[in-house]
Each structure stands twice: as structure tokens, then as C-alpha cells.
Structure 1
Amino acid sequence: MSRPPSFVPPAGVRAYRLNTARGAFAGLEAAPEGPPRGTALLLPGFTGSKEDFIALHEPLAVRGYRTVAVDGRGQYESKGPAQDEKAYAQAELAQDVLAQARAVGGPVHLVGHSLGGQIARAAVLTDAAPFASLTVMSSGPAQISVSQQQRVKLLRDALAVMGMADVWEAIQAMEAPEETATGEIDAGLDDRDDLRRRWMGNSPAQLVATGRQLCTEPDRVAELAATALPVHVLSGERDDTWPVSLLDDMAARLGARRTVVEGAEHSPNTDRPLQTAWALADFWDAL
């Protein structure tokens, strides 16, 4: 589960509702002081939210870019059906992204983290016209690793028989405390209430449907390469969801720009936000 540094928007970042032809989505937006060099649309991953990008807005604004991060349908503060899994089919979520891009105004630099990367890819394959580029962040060519598939299956099985609050408590009981960079144990108590509130905002049907997608996603790299859209494959130097070597190979197949953020794991946007922001801006500047 990603852990943003804060759920409170910093100065210069506004929370708002992005109104689109497919409904309203909760968003966070920041803009540079002068005319923007471009606009980026940021899509979070599985169990994540727009806050996962909260530390990227300021440095990207400094580099001249307007940024809009959104909760997808059924994620955190964007409402969605609680029981209708068909509402969260990948094709439906891709259409949401296309509507968001049109509402934001383009051409848009599209960025998707993990699950968000695969939804972003589906949007581009549906219609690449609204996009100036695609960055897939810690998001691989096909289904997630076997170990992560097992974790997602446990979650889906739990959601079939338990409520969201009970599943949250079970997750907390199973997760080991994290170790900080100094070797100390961080129990994560300071942000536990925020993380629980985000979890409770998710639609169970969205988690089940998108979890299934992560476990069954086919390899569509050749299709993406055929669009000729500029692609950036960005990741940390360690990742247990998609092995880094697999991401290296995907980048080679795409002829894509490749960035490995030192000291980061599956969420470079929260692990090393400044380095991640600079890598994104360098890619966009080069276009």
C-alpha cells in the first residue's frame, strides 16, 4: 500500500472536482507561475489515490508544468458503484481517462503508476490523440508477479466475505512495521487514520475488478509501440510487483526512455519524489 507523505495539499496545490463528460473526479492541481510548458495527468495505482503524487506538484511547477492528479472511479474521493464490477472494466476506466484528458485540456502528458499505468496504456490504445506522451511508472508489460497475484487473491477472497472495515483490520494485523533509512522501526501510526479513511473510500467492486485485471493483464507492448507515442518507463531500483529486469526489457521493446530512480522501490513518486519529478520533467523537456 502506497503511503503518501501527506493527505493535506501543500501551498500551491488545490483540491477540486474535475468535471468531465463521464462524471466528476476528485483531483489535485498545481500550476507554474507563468504559462505552462505542458500539462500532466497523473493516475494512481491499486489501493492508491491522487495523494500519492502530492510531493511531485511543486517541483514540476518549478519546471514549468501544470499537474492534475485524480482519483479514478471508485477510488478514495471519486464515487463509484459499490457492487457493480462491470463499472470497473478496463475499457470503462480507459474511457474515464480519455474524458479526464479532454477536460484537463491537451495534449496531455499521461502518467500512470502501477495499475494506473495499465489503465493509461488502455486509454492510449483506445485513442492516442489527446496525449503528448505516456509515462508508465512501476508498471509492467502484463500481469503482476506470482507473489503479488497471491496477495491480490487473498484480498479478493476477503472482500467476498468481509466488510471493508474488517478487511482493513486484517491487513493491519498482517503487515509488519516498516524499517526506516536509519534502521529504526516505523509503525506508521501517524498516518494510520488517513490511510484507513482512504481505504474506506474505495469501492469494494473496484478493488475486486481491478485486482483481477492486475492478475490477468495480457502483454500489449507491441500494440503500444505501434502507436508511435513517446513512452517513458520509470521505476525504482527494486520492485516485487514487476521485476526491474522485466521493465528494462519492456523499455527496450518500446524504444522508450528508461529511468531507474536510485533508492526507490515500487513507489518512486513517494520514495524519491524530487528525483522522480526531475526525471519526468527531463523527459517532457526533451520532447
Structure 2
Amino acid sequence: MSTPPFLTLPAGVRRTSLETSRGTFAVLEALPGSGVSDRCPALLVPGYTGSKEDFIAVLQTLAAPGRRVVAIDMRGQYETPGAGDDPAAYTRAALGADVAALLEALGPDPVHLVGHSFGGLVTREAVLDGPVRPASYTLMSSGPAALTGPSAAKARALREAIPQLGMAQIWELSIGPDAIARGVAPEIVDFLKARTLGNCPAGLMAMAHELVTAPDRVDELAKLGTETGLRMLVLYGEDDDVWDPREQAVMAERLNAARVVIPSAAHSPAVDAPETTAAALTAFWRQCERAQR
């Protein structure tokens, strides 16, 4: 898989694919400079309308201490093929089964699992219902249940607009002009356009429905953590505008999870404050590995 000319990857990070029992997934893979991975690997799962590239700025730092780090496009996102127009292929349960297959493929060592935003709702399904227990579990800028308020309204609006306009027109009328108005660099605008048009429309519509209907499964997750000793982290930006930071703080308490608030970050800490975010994840993973030893 070649690197798009408008997006340069850091040294030690490559585009490749990962074969699983549920199909092939496009990934960004980072390895330590030594080439030797002697710590548990990590799997990073993006959010709605996102992709593996949302983690570019943290991959090299996360891999440096000696671990393989893989960020994915979920089924139907950007460079991972969709599964047709069947909404059932893009439910939280179906996408969670994909994540479980990815955890298995990255084994045999336990894998540190991170779910960002909608990816948090998806990975939660894998943790609760999948056969593979991760080495640790991090919810990044995700919430206990469905989106509410303006964020939910945006997801519903996109779901309704896709069949009427198509993604190309949505880019030209809304997403593209907004990126340019925000001063996004031209090469990033080019990437965002490629990603927008690469997403599976049926997948986007089905995922939007999942975002606004997801039930609260925090108590189930807390019970699993108590029974299995699974260590969890709730990490979010202090200015998150998708799930209220106060709501995420309460979720951390319900889970008896560690909590890290990233200063000067909004909904995408790995983009807004990559070094601080990578340091927090690395410290948490090391704590978990020491405890397991």
C-alpha cells in the first residue's frame, strides 16, 4: 500500500495491511528503531469519520520503548474495504467482532487496546463480548452511551444528507470549505478529501445510527474489570466538545479506572497534544505490564 503524496509518514511508520479471520484491514504500523518488540503491542481504533491517520503524531513515540503499535481503519473507513450496503455489517457488535479478530491477529501477547470516540463504543463491544482479553483498555474521548446534543444532531444530519447529496457533494458544499476556512494546510485538505471520498457511504450512515443509539454498558464493563483485573484508563482533552468532560470523569469513577485529562486538547488529544497523550499512554501501559509481571 503506497503512501499518498500529500501525507508524509514519520520514520519507522509504514502503511500496510493486517490479515484477520474477518478480512483484511488497512493499518499504519510503527516499530521500535531497533526493530525488536519486547513489550506488549498496541492497537489504536479511530472514531466516526476518522481513520488510522488520526494517530500519526503518536505512533513513533508509542513504539520507541519497544513495542509494535498498529492503528487501523475500521471496516468501511478510508482504505479498509466496506462490506456492501448491509447496515448490519457496521453495527457496534459487528465492528467489535472485527476488533476482536485484530486483537487475535496481533497476538500471541496480550494487546493494549485504545478506542477513540466512536471507536470507544466499538472496542467496548470487543472487550465485553469478544474472546480475547486485552492487556489494558483505554477509552479516549469516548462516552458511556450515545451522543447527545449538537454532536448527535451533526451525526443525524450527515446520515440524512448522504443519500440525498453523496459524499462528493457533501465535501464540496461543507467539509472542504470548512477545512479551508479553518486554515488547514493544503496537503492535509487533500488528505481529508481523499478520506471523505474513500469512506463507505453505507458504513457512515450505519455508524451514525450506532452513535446516536448506543446504550450505556459501563456497569457491565466495570463488572468485567472487577472479575478479570482488566486495568482501564479514561483519557480525554480538557476542552472535549463531543462528550462532556464531566460525563467522562463520572464514567472513569464508575469503571474504577485511571483518568488523565490532557491540557490544551479538545476531542482529538492524539492530534492536539501528541507528546502529552503518548506519554500518558506509555506510562499507563508500563504500569499494567509491571502489575502483570
> Structures share a fold, TM > 0.5?
yes
Which is further off, 127-136 or 147-156? 127-136
Query: 1:161: Cα distance to partner?
Result: 1.0
Q: Which residue of 1 aligns with 2:231?
A: 230
**CA 1:205–1:96: 2 relative to 1, 3 Å:** same
8 A Cα contact 2:24 2:80, kept in partner: yes
**CA 1:212–1:58: 2 relative to 1, 3 Å:** same
CA distance in 1 between counterparts of 2:262 and 2:181 reads 20
Query: 1:193: Cα distance to partner?
Result: 1.2
- SS of 1:286's equivalent? helix
Query: 1:65: Cα distance to partner?
Result: 2.4
- SS of 2:76's equivalent? coil
Q: Which runs of 5+ in 2 are unaligned?
A: 1-5, 289-293
Identical columns (%): 47
**1:152-193 Cα distance to aligned partner (Å, 9 max, x none):** 1111110121111011112236737666xxxxxx25434211
Q: What letter is aligned with 2:133?
A: P
Task: Give the 5 Å matches for 1:115-154.
Answer: 115-127=118-130, 129-154=132-157
- SS of 2:236's equivalent? strand
CA distance in 1 between counterparts of 2:57 and 2:222 reads 30
Q: Which residue of 1 aligns with 2:194?
A: 197
8 A Cα contact 1:113 1:139, kept in partner: yes
Which is further off, 64-73 or 170-179? 170-179
Q: Which residue of 2 aligns with 1:264?
A: 265
Query: 1:139: Cα distance to partner?
Result: 0.2
Query: 1:7: Cα distance to partner?
Result: 3.3
Q: Which residue of 2 aligns with 1:213?
A: 210
**1:204-229 Cα distance to aligned partner (Å, 9 max, x none):** 11111111111111111000011112
Alignment partner of 1:102 is 2:99: no
Q: Which residue of 1 aligns with 2:282?
A: 281
Alignment partner of 1:175 is 2:178: yes
8 A Cα contact 1:98 1:123, kept in partner: yes
CA distance in 2 between counterparts of 1:70 and 1:212 reads 21
Q: What letter is aligned with 1:149?
A: A
Superposition RMSD in Å: 1.6
Q: What letter is aligned with 1:96?
A: D
Choose from 21, 38, 61 the match for 1:36.
38
* TM-score normalised by length of structure 1: 0.92
Question: Which runs of at least 4 in structure 1 moved beyond 4 Å after TM superposition?
Answer: 176-179
8 A Cα contact 2:103 2:132, kept in partner: no
CA distance in 1 between counterparts of 2:84 and 2:200 reads 5
Q: What letter is aligned with 2:281?
A: L
8 A Cα contact 2:37 2:68, kept in partner: no
Query: 1:275: Cα distance to partner?
Result: 0.6
8 A Cα contact 2:180 2:189, kept in partner: no
8 A Cα contact 1:12 1:30, kept in partner: yes
Q: Which residue of 2 aligns with 1:182?
A: none
Query: 1:101: Cα distance to partner?
Result: 0.8
CA distance in 1 between counterparts of 2:49 and 2:176 reads 17
**CA 1:231–1:162: 2 relative to 1, 3 Å:** same
Q: Which residue of 2 aligns with 1:244?
A: 245
**CA 1:53–1:188: 2 relative to 1, 3 Å:** same
Choose from 40, 52, 58 the match for 2:54.
52
Task: Give the 5 Å matches for 1:71-86.
Answer: 71-86=73-88
CA distance in 2 between counterparts of 1:164 and 1:13 reads 29
8 A Cα contact 2:97 2:130, kept in partner: no
Question: What is the aligned residue count?
Answer: 276
8 A Cα contact 1:141 1:220, kept in partner: yes
CA distance in 1 between counterparts of 2:100 and 2:89 reads 16
Q: Which residue of 2 aligns with 1:165?
A: 168
Indicate the structure with greater helix content.
2
CA distance in 2 between counterparts of 1:177 and 1:244 reads 28
Q: What letter is aligned with 2:163?
A: A
8 A Cα contact 1:107 1:131, kept in partner: yes
CA distance in 1 between counterparts of 2:86 and 2:260 reads 38
**1:224-266 Cα distance to aligned partner (Å, 9 max, x none):** 0111121100000011111000000000111100000111000
